[in-house]
């Protein structure tokens, strides 16, 4: 699966970075994916980060 972050929606709360630091990183005041394809062993954690994002900025592409 792939993951994107809507930079216009992201508030920079860092929840995704704290939850899955191997996949997300901060780029200034917004988060961004560090990988193009999410490793299989991290998919569930990325789904959790997406569902917990307070502004629903994380989009999963199956």
Does residue 33 contact residue 45 with C-beta atoms inside 8 Å?
Answer: no
Rounded Cα gap, residues 21 and 33, in angstroms:
10
Rounded Cα gap, residues 24 and 21, in angstroms:
5
pLDDT at 24: 98
pLDDT in tens, 6-49: 999 999 999 999 999 999 999 999 999 999 999 999 999 999 99
Question: Strand, helix or coil at 43?
Answer: helix
pLDDT at 22: 98
Task: Enumerate domains of the chain plus CATH numbers.
Answer: 2-61 (3.30.70.20)
Rounded Cα gap, residues 26 and 61, in angstroms:
20
pLDDT at 12: 97
Model pTM score: 0.94
Tokens of residue 56, six digits? 């629903």
DSSP, res 3: E
């Amino acid at each position: 699966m792939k993951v994107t972050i809507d930079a216009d929606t992201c508030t920079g709360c860092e929840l995704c970075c704290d939850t899955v630091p191997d996949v997300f990183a901060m780029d200034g005041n917004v988060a961004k994916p560090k990988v193009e394809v999410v490793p299989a062993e991290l998919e569930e954690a990325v789904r959790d980060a997406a569902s917990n994002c307070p502004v629903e900025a994380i989009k999963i592409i199956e």
